Structure 1
Amino acid sequence: MSVDPKAETPNQRSDVHYYDDGDLLIIVEKTEFRVHKLLLKLASEMFRSMFACKVSQDGPLDNAKPIDSVVITDMTADEFNDILTFIYPHTILDISWSKLSYLLSIADKYIMMNLTEYCLRFLEANFLDRALDMLSLADRALTAFSLSDQHRSTFSFLYKESSKYVLDDIGLVFTNSLPVDLSNQTRNKLIEARCRYFETISSLSLDTLNIQTSPSGARVLKNGLAEICILPLQPPSVVWKKLHELFKKAHMDSLQDKLDAMVEELLGPYEIGTYDDSGNCYMFLEYQ
Protein backbone atom coordinates (compact mmCIF):
# COMPACT_ATOMS: atom_id res chain seq x y z
CA MET A 1 0.00 0.00 0.00
CA SER A 2 1.41 3.37 -0.96
CA VAL A 3 1.22 6.39 1.32
CA ASP A 4 0.63 9.85 -0.04
CA PRO A 5 3.51 11.97 1.35
CA LYS A 6 1.32 15.06 1.02
CA ALA A 7 -1.42 13.63 3.21
CA GLU A 8 -1.75 15.64 6.40
CA THR A 9 -1.20 13.97 9.74
CA PRO A 10 -4.41 14.07 11.79
CA ASN A 11 -4.52 16.17 14.92
CA GLN A 12 -3.83 14.52 18.25
CA ARG A 13 -5.67 15.27 21.46
CA SER A 14 -3.63 16.57 24.36
CA ASP A 15 -3.01 13.91 26.97
CA VAL A 16 -3.28 16.46 29.77
CA HIS A 17 -5.54 19.31 28.75
CA TYR A 18 -8.48 17.95 26.80
CA TYR A 19 -11.63 18.46 28.85
CA ASP A 20 -14.93 17.04 27.61
CA ASP A 21 -16.82 19.98 29.10
CA GLY A 22 -14.49 22.55 27.56
CA ASP A 23 -16.09 25.24 25.40
CA LEU A 24 -13.07 26.10 23.24
CA LEU A 25 -10.79 24.05 21.02
CA ILE A 26 -7.25 25.40 20.64
CA ILE A 27 -4.98 23.80 18.08
CA VAL A 28 -1.21 24.13 18.37
CA GLU A 29 1.11 22.14 16.10
CA LYS A 30 -1.46 19.43 15.35
CA THR A 31 -2.28 19.07 19.04
CA GLU A 32 -5.83 19.80 20.17
CA PHE A 33 -6.49 21.33 23.58
CA ARG A 34 -10.13 21.46 24.63
CA VAL A 35 -10.26 24.06 27.35
CA HIS A 36 -12.48 26.50 29.22
CA LYS A 37 -12.67 30.09 28.00
CA LEU A 38 -13.36 31.42 31.47
CA LEU A 39 -10.07 30.17 32.90
CA LEU A 40 -8.11 31.56 29.95
CA LYS A 41 -9.85 34.93 30.27
CA LEU A 42 -9.06 35.07 33.99
CA ALA A 43 -5.39 34.29 33.37
CA SER A 44 -4.67 36.49 30.36
CA GLU A 45 -5.76 39.95 29.27
CA MET A 46 -5.12 38.99 25.66
CA PHE A 47 -7.45 36.01 25.90
CA ARG A 48 -9.96 38.26 27.67
CA SER A 49 -9.92 40.66 24.73
CA MET A 50 -9.97 37.83 22.21
CA PHE A 51 -13.14 36.36 23.69
CA ALA A 52 -14.80 39.65 24.68
CA CYS A 53 -17.35 39.39 21.89
CA LYS A 54 -17.91 35.69 22.32
CA VAL A 55 -20.94 34.62 24.33
CA SER A 56 -20.63 31.30 26.11
CA GLN A 57 -23.66 29.07 25.81
CA ASP A 58 -25.81 28.58 28.86
CA GLY A 59 -26.64 25.24 30.36
CA PRO A 60 -24.92 21.89 29.88
CA LEU A 61 -22.54 21.65 26.96
CA ASP A 62 -23.79 19.50 24.11
CA ASN A 63 -20.73 17.61 22.87
CA ALA A 64 -22.47 16.96 19.58
CA LYS A 65 -22.51 20.67 18.74
CA PRO A 66 -19.43 22.36 17.29
CA ILE A 67 -17.48 24.65 19.58
CA ASP A 68 -15.31 27.65 18.84
CA SER A 69 -11.80 26.83 17.72
CA VAL A 70 -8.59 28.85 17.60
CA VAL A 71 -5.26 28.05 15.97
CA ILE A 72 -2.19 29.38 17.81
CA THR A 73 1.04 29.63 15.84
CA ASP A 74 3.33 31.70 18.08
CA MET A 75 4.32 28.88 20.43
CA THR A 76 4.89 25.14 20.38
CA ALA A 77 2.45 22.55 21.66
CA ASP A 78 4.75 21.80 24.61
CA GLU A 79 4.93 25.49 25.47
CA PHE A 80 1.16 25.90 25.34
CA ASN A 81 0.78 22.79 27.45
CA ASP A 82 2.98 24.47 30.08
CA ILE A 83 0.83 27.60 29.92
CA LEU A 84 -2.33 25.56 30.52
CA THR A 85 -0.62 23.63 33.30
CA PHE A 86 0.04 26.97 34.98
CA ILE A 87 -3.51 28.22 34.39
CA TYR A 88 -5.46 25.17 35.56
CA PRO A 89 -5.66 24.92 39.37
CA HIS A 90 -5.36 21.13 39.55
CA THR A 91 -2.01 21.01 37.72
CA ILE A 92 1.32 22.46 38.86
CA LEU A 93 3.88 23.85 36.43
CA ASP A 94 7.35 22.49 37.09
CA ILE A 95 9.46 25.52 36.24
CA SER A 96 13.10 25.24 35.18
CA TRP A 97 15.82 27.39 33.63
CA SER A 98 15.20 25.85 30.21
CA LYS A 99 11.59 27.09 30.26
CA LEU A 100 12.08 30.60 31.60
CA SER A 101 12.82 32.36 28.32
CA TYR A 102 9.62 31.28 26.57
CA LEU A 103 7.48 31.50 29.70
CA LEU A 104 8.47 35.12 30.24
CA SER A 105 7.98 35.93 26.55
CA ILE A 106 4.51 34.37 26.50
CA ALA A 107 3.62 36.05 29.80
CA ASP A 108 4.56 39.39 28.26
CA LYS A 109 2.76 38.88 24.94
CA TYR A 110 -0.41 37.42 26.45
CA ILE A 111 -0.33 39.82 29.43
CA MET A 112 -0.24 37.14 32.11
CA MET A 113 0.90 39.03 35.21
CA ASN A 114 0.62 36.02 37.49
CA LEU A 115 2.88 33.96 35.23
CA THR A 116 5.51 36.71 35.26
CA GLU A 117 5.27 36.77 39.04
CA TYR A 118 5.63 32.98 39.17
CA CYS A 119 8.81 33.14 37.09
CA LEU A 120 10.21 35.97 39.20
CA ARG A 121 9.75 33.99 42.41
CA PHE A 122 11.81 31.18 40.88
CA LEU A 123 14.50 33.62 39.72
CA GLU A 124 14.78 35.36 43.08
CA ALA A 125 15.36 32.00 44.76
CA ASN A 126 17.75 30.53 42.17
CA PHE A 127 19.53 33.26 40.22
CA LEU A 128 22.92 32.65 41.85
CA ASP A 129 23.01 29.21 40.22
CA ARG A 130 23.04 30.81 36.75
CA ALA A 131 24.10 34.44 37.17
CA LEU A 132 24.89 34.97 33.48
CA ASP A 133 21.56 33.49 32.38
CA MET A 134 19.84 35.67 34.96
CA LEU A 135 21.58 38.79 33.66
CA SER A 136 20.54 37.91 30.11
CA LEU A 137 16.90 37.30 31.10
CA ALA A 138 16.70 40.52 33.11
CA ASP A 139 18.37 42.47 30.32
CA ARG A 140 15.85 41.16 27.80
CA ALA A 141 12.87 41.77 30.07
CA LEU A 142 13.90 45.34 30.87
CA THR A 143 14.67 46.08 27.22
CA ALA A 144 11.78 44.44 25.40
CA PHE A 145 8.90 43.67 27.77
CA SER A 146 5.99 45.80 28.95
CA LEU A 147 6.43 45.46 32.71
CA SER A 148 4.48 46.72 35.67
CA ASP A 149 6.39 49.05 37.98
CA GLN A 150 6.75 46.25 40.52
CA HIS A 151 8.05 43.73 38.00
CA ARG A 152 10.42 46.29 36.47
CA SER A 153 11.80 47.01 39.92
CA THR A 154 12.35 43.29 40.59
CA PHE A 155 14.04 42.70 37.24
CA SER A 156 16.26 45.76 37.84
CA PHE A 157 17.27 44.34 41.21
CA LEU A 158 18.05 40.93 39.69
CA TYR A 159 20.00 42.61 36.86
CA LYS A 160 22.17 44.39 39.40
CA GLU A 161 22.69 41.41 41.71
CA SER A 162 23.50 38.95 38.92
CA SER A 163 25.94 41.41 37.33
CA LYS A 164 28.06 41.27 40.50
CA TYR A 165 28.80 37.59 40.02
CA VAL A 166 29.25 37.90 36.26
CA LEU A 167 31.81 40.69 36.72
CA ASP A 168 33.55 38.68 39.42
CA ASP A 169 34.30 35.92 36.91
CA ILE A 170 37.56 37.29 35.53
CA GLY A 171 37.65 35.48 32.20
CA LEU A 172 33.97 35.34 31.38
CA VAL A 173 33.46 38.74 29.79
CA PHE A 174 36.23 38.31 27.22
CA THR A 175 35.29 34.81 26.08
CA ASN A 176 32.56 33.63 23.76
CA SER A 177 30.43 32.75 26.77
CA LEU A 178 28.30 35.89 26.71
CA PRO A 179 24.76 35.12 25.52
CA VAL A 180 24.13 36.18 21.94
CA ASP A 181 20.87 37.85 22.94
CA LEU A 182 22.54 40.14 25.47
CA SER A 183 21.82 43.75 24.49
CA ASN A 184 24.66 45.84 23.11
CA GLN A 185 24.20 48.23 26.02
CA THR A 186 24.78 45.55 28.66
CA ARG A 187 27.51 43.83 26.65
CA ASN A 188 29.42 47.12 26.32
CA LYS A 189 28.95 47.94 30.00
CA LEU A 190 30.40 44.55 30.98
CA ILE A 191 33.42 45.02 28.73
CA GLU A 192 33.99 48.60 29.91
CA ALA A 193 33.82 47.55 33.57
CA ARG A 194 36.22 44.68 33.00
CA CYS A 195 38.69 46.86 31.03
CA ARG A 196 38.57 49.52 33.74
CA TYR A 197 39.30 46.87 36.35
CA PHE A 198 42.26 45.43 34.42
CA GLU A 199 43.77 48.85 33.78
CA THR A 200 43.29 50.05 37.35
CA ILE A 201 44.62 47.01 39.18
CA SER A 202 47.55 46.62 36.79
CA SER A 203 48.70 50.16 37.56
CA LEU A 204 48.15 50.23 41.33
CA SER A 205 51.14 51.68 43.20
CA LEU A 206 51.91 54.04 46.06
CA ASP A 207 51.97 56.86 43.54
CA THR A 208 48.57 56.11 42.04
CA LEU A 209 47.09 55.64 45.51
CA ASN A 210 48.58 58.98 46.58
CA ILE A 211 48.92 57.83 50.19
CA GLN A 212 51.42 59.30 52.64
CA THR A 213 52.71 56.83 55.21
CA SER A 214 55.79 55.85 57.20
CA PRO A 215 58.74 54.10 55.49
CA SER A 216 57.78 50.78 57.11
CA GLY A 217 54.15 51.21 56.09
CA ALA A 218 55.24 52.12 52.57
CA ARG A 219 57.25 48.89 52.31
CA VAL A 220 54.29 46.81 53.47
CA LEU A 221 52.03 48.54 50.97
CA LYS A 222 54.50 48.21 48.12
CA ASN A 223 55.04 44.48 48.69
CA GLY A 224 51.33 43.87 49.22
CA LEU A 225 50.35 45.72 46.05
CA ALA A 226 52.91 43.71 44.08
CA GLU A 227 51.20 40.50 45.21
CA ILE A 228 47.72 41.83 44.48
CA CYS A 229 48.56 43.12 41.01
CA ILE A 230 50.29 39.96 39.79
CA LEU A 231 48.92 38.29 36.67
CA PRO A 232 46.56 36.61 36.19
CA LEU A 233 44.47 39.17 38.03
CA GLN A 234 42.19 37.97 40.79
CA PRO A 235 38.44 38.62 40.95
CA PRO A 236 37.37 42.12 42.06
CA SER A 237 35.80 40.82 45.27
CA VAL A 238 39.09 39.15 46.26
CA VAL A 239 41.16 42.22 45.41
CA TRP A 240 38.85 44.47 47.43
CA LYS A 241 39.23 42.23 50.49
CA LYS A 242 43.02 42.01 50.10
CA LEU A 243 43.32 45.78 49.81
CA HIS A 244 41.46 46.20 53.09
CA GLU A 245 43.62 43.56 54.77
CA LEU A 246 46.71 45.27 53.39
CA PHE A 247 45.70 48.61 54.89
CA LYS A 248 45.26 46.95 58.27
CA LYS A 249 48.64 45.22 57.99
CA ALA A 250 50.24 48.58 57.21
CA HIS A 251 48.57 50.01 60.36
CA MET A 252 46.45 52.37 58.31
CA ASP A 253 43.04 51.46 59.72
CA SER A 254 42.12 55.12 59.88
CA LEU A 255 42.27 55.27 56.08
CA GLN A 256 39.67 52.56 55.45
CA ASP A 257 37.09 55.17 54.49
CA LYS A 258 39.57 56.64 52.04
CA LEU A 259 40.13 53.19 50.56
CA ASP A 260 36.39 52.71 50.12
CA ALA A 261 36.10 55.98 48.21
CA MET A 262 39.27 55.26 46.24
CA VAL A 263 38.15 51.79 45.16
CA GLU A 264 34.80 53.14 44.00
CA GLU A 265 36.53 55.90 42.07
CA LEU A 266 38.93 53.45 40.43
CA LEU A 267 36.70 50.45 39.83
CA GLY A 268 33.24 51.96 39.66
CA PRO A 269 30.25 51.26 41.94
CA TYR A 270 30.43 48.27 44.25
CA GLU A 271 28.75 47.02 47.41
CA ILE A 272 28.78 44.15 49.88
CA GLY A 273 27.43 40.93 48.38
CA THR A 274 23.84 40.32 49.40
CA TYR A 275 23.64 36.58 48.89
CA ASP A 276 26.83 35.15 50.36
CA ASP A 277 28.54 35.06 53.74
CA SER A 278 31.99 36.08 52.55
CA GLY A 279 31.63 39.78 53.25
CA ASN A 280 33.11 40.39 49.81
CA CYS A 281 32.44 43.52 47.84
CA TYR A 282 31.37 43.31 44.23
CA MET A 283 31.36 45.58 41.23
CA PHE A 284 27.95 45.76 39.59
CA LEU A 285 25.94 47.18 36.71
CA GLU A 286 22.65 49.03 36.92
CA TYR A 287 20.11 49.04 34.13
CA GLN A 288 19.39 52.54 32.87
Structure 2
Amino acid sequence: MIPLEIQELAPESPYIWRAKRPRATRRLICFPHAGAGAAAYADWASLLPADVELVAVQLPGRQNRIAEDPFTEVGPLVNVLTHALRPVLDLPFAFFGHSGGATLAFELARALRDRGGRGPDQLFLSAQPAPGASAVRQLHALSDEDFHAEILALGGVDEELVEDEDAMEAMLWVLRADFTLYERHRLEPGTPLDTPITALCGDADPRAPLPEVMRWREQTTGAFSAEVYPGGHFYFIEDPAPVVSLIAGRMAAPATAGRTA
Protein backbone atom coordinates (compact mmCIF):
# COMPACT_ATOMS: atom_id res chain seq x y z
CA MET A 1 0.00 0.00 0.00
CA ILE A 2 1.35 3.42 -0.96
CA PRO A 3 1.53 5.77 2.06
CA LEU A 4 -0.46 8.96 1.63
CA GLU A 5 1.76 11.99 1.19
CA ILE A 6 -0.50 15.02 1.37
CA GLN A 7 0.93 18.09 -0.30
CA GLU A 8 -0.85 21.40 -0.58
CA LEU A 9 -2.04 22.53 -3.98
CA ALA A 10 0.54 25.12 -5.03
CA PRO A 11 1.57 27.07 -8.16
CA GLU A 12 4.14 25.32 -10.30
CA SER A 13 3.86 27.30 -13.55
CA PRO A 14 1.45 29.96 -14.80
CA TYR A 15 -1.16 27.37 -15.80
CA ILE A 16 -0.41 24.51 -13.41
CA TRP A 17 -1.09 24.19 -9.69
CA ARG A 18 -0.17 20.79 -8.31
CA ALA A 19 -0.38 18.85 -5.03
CA LYS A 20 2.76 16.83 -5.67
CA ARG A 21 2.87 13.11 -5.01
CA PRO A 22 6.19 11.78 -6.35
CA ARG A 23 4.92 8.19 -6.41
CA ALA A 24 1.62 8.91 -8.14
CA THR A 25 0.59 6.61 -10.98
CA ARG A 26 -2.34 8.73 -12.23
CA ARG A 27 -3.45 12.35 -12.26
CA LEU A 28 -6.75 14.15 -11.95
CA ILE A 29 -6.58 17.46 -13.83
CA CYS A 30 -9.32 19.91 -12.81
CA PHE A 31 -10.70 22.95 -14.64
CA PRO A 32 -12.44 25.58 -12.49
CA HIS A 33 -15.79 27.23 -13.09
CA ALA A 34 -16.27 30.76 -14.40
CA GLY A 35 -14.55 33.37 -12.27
CA ALA A 36 -12.74 30.81 -10.12
CA GLY A 37 -9.10 29.86 -9.84
CA ALA A 38 -7.15 26.71 -9.21
CA ALA A 39 -7.60 27.07 -5.45
CA ALA A 40 -11.24 26.02 -5.88
CA TYR A 41 -9.87 22.46 -5.76
CA ALA A 42 -7.51 22.92 -2.81
CA ASP A 43 -9.51 20.58 -0.55
CA TRP A 44 -9.52 17.74 -3.06
CA ALA A 45 -5.91 16.62 -2.59
CA SER A 46 -6.55 15.05 0.82
CA LEU A 47 -9.64 13.25 -0.51
CA LEU A 48 -7.94 11.46 -3.40
CA PRO A 49 -6.29 8.03 -3.16
CA ALA A 50 -2.56 7.95 -2.48
CA ASP A 51 -1.67 7.12 -6.08
CA VAL A 52 -3.65 9.97 -7.66
CA GLU A 53 -2.01 13.38 -7.96
CA LEU A 54 -4.20 16.48 -8.13
CA VAL A 55 -3.53 19.15 -10.75
CA ALA A 56 -5.66 22.27 -11.11
CA VAL A 57 -5.56 24.60 -14.09
CA GLN A 58 -4.98 28.28 -13.37
CA LEU A 59 -6.26 30.75 -15.96
CA PRO A 60 -5.34 34.43 -16.41
CA GLY A 61 -7.38 37.05 -14.57
CA ARG A 62 -7.67 35.46 -11.11
CA GLN A 63 -5.72 34.82 -7.91
CA ASN A 64 -1.98 35.01 -8.60
CA ARG A 65 -2.74 35.99 -12.23
CA ILE A 66 -5.22 38.76 -11.38
CA ALA A 67 -3.28 41.39 -13.35
CA GLU A 68 -3.57 39.44 -16.61
CA ASP A 69 -6.45 39.77 -19.06
CA PRO A 70 -8.71 36.73 -19.30
CA PHE A 71 -9.14 34.94 -22.62
CA THR A 72 -12.02 35.99 -24.86
CA GLU A 73 -12.22 32.85 -27.05
CA VAL A 74 -12.08 29.16 -26.18
CA GLY A 75 -10.03 28.14 -29.24
CA PRO A 76 -6.91 30.18 -28.44
CA LEU A 77 -7.12 29.15 -24.79
CA VAL A 78 -7.23 25.47 -25.77
CA ASN A 79 -4.22 25.99 -28.04
CA VAL A 80 -2.25 27.45 -25.14
CA LEU A 81 -3.27 24.66 -22.77
CA THR A 82 -2.22 21.87 -25.15
CA HIS A 83 1.34 23.14 -24.68
CA ALA A 84 1.17 24.47 -21.11
CA LEU A 85 -0.12 21.20 -19.64
CA ARG A 86 2.43 18.92 -21.32
CA PRO A 87 4.44 18.47 -18.10
CA VAL A 88 1.46 16.79 -16.40
CA LEU A 89 0.31 14.61 -19.30
CA ASP A 90 3.08 12.02 -18.92
CA LEU A 91 0.99 9.74 -16.66
CA PRO A 92 -2.51 8.35 -17.27
CA PHE A 93 -4.93 11.14 -16.42
CA ALA A 94 -8.57 12.16 -16.23
CA PHE A 95 -10.17 15.57 -16.66
CA PHE A 96 -12.76 17.09 -14.33
CA GLY A 97 -14.42 20.37 -15.27
CA HIS A 98 -17.17 22.24 -13.47
CA SER A 99 -19.59 24.54 -15.32
CA GLY A 100 -17.60 26.46 -17.94
CA GLY A 101 -14.59 24.39 -16.94
CA ALA A 102 -16.40 21.33 -18.31
CA THR A 103 -16.53 22.95 -21.75
CA LEU A 104 -12.82 23.68 -21.54
CA ALA A 105 -12.01 20.12 -20.43
CA PHE A 106 -14.05 18.67 -23.29
CA GLU A 107 -12.54 20.92 -25.95
CA LEU A 108 -9.03 20.19 -24.71
CA ALA A 109 -9.73 16.46 -24.89
CA ARG A 110 -10.86 16.89 -28.50
CA ALA A 111 -7.79 18.97 -29.34
CA LEU A 112 -5.42 16.40 -27.88
CA ARG A 113 -7.18 13.65 -29.84
CA ASP A 114 -7.12 15.61 -33.08
CA ARG A 115 -3.40 16.35 -32.69
CA GLY A 116 -2.54 12.72 -32.05
CA GLY A 117 -1.54 13.36 -28.46
CA ARG A 118 -2.31 11.47 -25.29
CA GLY A 119 -5.83 12.23 -24.14
CA PRO A 120 -7.68 11.71 -20.87
CA ASP A 121 -8.73 8.20 -19.91
CA GLN A 122 -12.02 9.64 -18.65
CA LEU A 123 -13.92 12.89 -18.72
CA PHE A 124 -15.97 14.10 -15.75
CA LEU A 125 -18.17 17.02 -16.86
CA SER A 126 -20.06 18.80 -14.09
CA ALA A 127 -22.97 21.27 -14.06
CA GLN A 128 -22.69 22.12 -17.75
CA PRO A 129 -25.23 21.56 -20.53
CA ALA A 130 -23.93 19.66 -23.52
CA PRO A 131 -23.08 21.63 -26.68
CA GLY A 132 -26.15 22.90 -28.49
CA ALA A 133 -28.30 23.36 -25.40
CA SER A 134 -30.99 25.97 -25.90
CA ALA A 135 -32.90 25.97 -22.62
CA VAL A 136 -30.33 27.76 -20.50
CA ARG A 137 -30.53 31.52 -19.94
CA GLN A 138 -27.58 33.50 -21.27
CA LEU A 139 -26.06 35.82 -18.67
CA HIS A 140 -23.06 37.57 -20.23
CA ALA A 141 -25.05 40.40 -21.85
CA LEU A 142 -27.20 41.25 -18.82
CA SER A 143 -26.97 44.63 -17.13
CA ASP A 144 -24.56 44.91 -14.21
CA GLU A 145 -27.41 44.81 -11.73
CA ASP A 146 -29.08 41.76 -13.27
CA PHE A 147 -25.79 39.94 -13.77
CA HIS A 148 -24.89 40.54 -10.13
CA ALA A 149 -28.26 39.18 -9.00
CA GLU A 150 -27.98 36.07 -11.19
CA ILE A 151 -24.51 35.28 -9.87
CA LEU A 152 -25.62 35.56 -6.26
CA ALA A 153 -28.66 33.39 -7.00
CA LEU A 154 -26.40 30.63 -8.33
CA GLY A 155 -24.51 30.51 -5.03
CA GLY A 156 -20.93 29.51 -4.51
CA VAL A 157 -19.77 33.02 -3.49
CA ASP A 158 -18.34 33.47 0.00
CA GLU A 159 -20.32 35.85 2.23
CA GLU A 160 -17.14 37.79 3.05
CA LEU A 161 -16.61 38.43 -0.65
CA VAL A 162 -20.20 39.56 -1.15
CA GLU A 163 -19.75 42.14 1.63
CA ASP A 164 -16.52 43.50 0.11
CA GLU A 165 -17.63 45.83 -2.69
CA ASP A 166 -14.20 46.21 -4.30
CA ALA A 167 -13.46 42.48 -4.27
CA MET A 168 -16.95 41.70 -5.56
CA GLU A 169 -16.60 44.20 -8.40
CA ALA A 170 -13.28 42.64 -9.44
CA MET A 171 -14.75 39.16 -9.32
CA LEU A 172 -17.80 40.15 -11.35
CA TRP A 173 -15.53 41.58 -14.05
CA VAL A 174 -13.77 38.22 -14.41
CA LEU A 175 -17.06 36.35 -14.16
CA ARG A 176 -18.60 38.35 -16.99
CA ALA A 177 -15.49 37.74 -19.11
CA ASP A 178 -15.72 34.00 -18.46
CA PHE A 179 -19.45 33.82 -19.10
CA THR A 180 -18.88 35.67 -22.36
CA LEU A 181 -16.10 33.22 -23.23
CA TYR A 182 -18.20 30.10 -22.64
CA GLU A 183 -21.67 31.30 -23.64
CA ARG A 184 -20.48 32.56 -27.03
CA HIS A 185 -18.54 29.37 -27.74
CA ARG A 186 -19.97 27.02 -30.34
CA LEU A 187 -18.85 23.43 -30.84
CA GLU A 188 -17.28 22.78 -34.22
CA PRO A 189 -18.56 19.62 -35.95
CA GLY A 190 -16.29 16.65 -35.43
CA THR A 191 -16.03 12.95 -34.70
CA PRO A 192 -17.25 12.01 -31.22
CA LEU A 193 -14.62 11.04 -28.68
CA ASP A 194 -14.19 7.45 -27.60
CA THR A 195 -13.38 8.60 -24.07
CA PRO A 196 -15.84 7.53 -21.35
CA ILE A 197 -17.86 10.51 -20.13
CA THR A 198 -19.47 10.90 -16.73
CA ALA A 199 -21.83 13.89 -16.58
CA LEU A 200 -22.66 15.24 -13.12
CA CYS A 201 -25.25 17.77 -11.98
CA GLY A 202 -27.38 18.98 -9.10
CA ASP A 203 -31.07 18.12 -9.16
CA ALA A 204 -32.04 21.79 -8.65
CA ASP A 205 -29.54 23.47 -10.97
CA PRO A 206 -31.20 25.99 -13.33
CA ARG A 207 -27.97 26.25 -15.35
CA ALA A 208 -27.68 22.53 -16.07
CA PRO A 209 -31.06 20.78 -16.28
CA LEU A 210 -30.73 17.01 -16.55
CA PRO A 211 -32.12 16.68 -20.11
CA GLU A 212 -29.41 19.08 -21.37
CA VAL A 213 -26.73 17.34 -19.32
CA MET A 214 -27.76 13.95 -20.72
CA ARG A 215 -26.96 15.16 -24.22
CA TRP A 216 -23.26 14.72 -23.45
CA ARG A 217 -23.87 11.08 -24.43
CA GLU A 218 -23.86 12.30 -28.05
CA GLN A 219 -20.22 13.36 -27.71
CA THR A 220 -18.72 9.93 -27.11
CA THR A 221 -18.83 6.43 -28.55
CA GLY A 222 -17.49 5.15 -25.23
CA ALA A 223 -19.25 4.57 -21.95
CA PHE A 224 -21.59 7.27 -20.67
CA SER A 225 -23.31 7.78 -17.34
CA ALA A 226 -25.09 10.63 -15.60
CA GLU A 227 -24.86 11.21 -11.86
CA VAL A 228 -27.37 13.47 -10.13
CA TYR A 229 -26.75 14.93 -6.66
CA PRO A 230 -28.99 16.94 -4.33
CA GLY A 231 -28.41 20.66 -4.72
CA GLY A 232 -28.01 23.48 -7.18
CA HIS A 233 -25.24 24.69 -9.46
CA PHE A 234 -22.60 24.26 -6.73
CA TYR A 235 -23.99 20.99 -5.43
CA PHE A 236 -20.62 19.72 -4.14
CA ILE A 237 -19.08 22.89 -2.72
CA GLU A 238 -19.97 22.18 0.92
CA ASP A 239 -18.93 18.53 0.78
CA PRO A 240 -16.86 17.45 -2.22
CA ALA A 241 -16.13 13.99 -0.76
CA PRO A 242 -18.94 12.09 -2.57
CA VAL A 243 -17.94 13.53 -5.96
CA VAL A 244 -14.21 12.93 -5.38
CA SER A 245 -14.98 9.37 -4.25
CA LEU A 246 -16.98 8.72 -7.42
CA ILE A 247 -14.19 10.09 -9.60
CA ALA A 248 -11.53 8.05 -7.79
CA GLY A 249 -13.59 4.88 -8.17
CA ARG A 250 -14.11 5.43 -11.87
CA MET A 251 -10.43 6.21 -12.40
CA ALA A 252 -9.46 2.98 -10.64
CA ALA A 253 -11.89 0.81 -12.59
CA PRO A 254 -11.19 -0.31 -16.17
CA ALA A 255 -13.20 1.59 -18.79
CA THR A 256 -16.33 -0.28 -19.81
CA ALA A 257 -17.86 -0.34 -23.24
CA GLY A 258 -21.38 0.72 -24.02
CA ARG A 259 -23.62 3.35 -22.57
CA THR A 260 -25.66 3.71 -19.43
CA ALA A 261 -28.08 6.38 -18.35
The two structures have a TM-score, normalised by structure 1, of: 0.24
Bigger Cα Rg? 1
Q: Choose between structure 1 and 2: higher helix proportion.
A: 1
More relative contact order, 1 or 2 (CA 8 Å, 6+ apart): 2
Q: Choose between structure 1 and 2: higher strand proportion.
A: 2
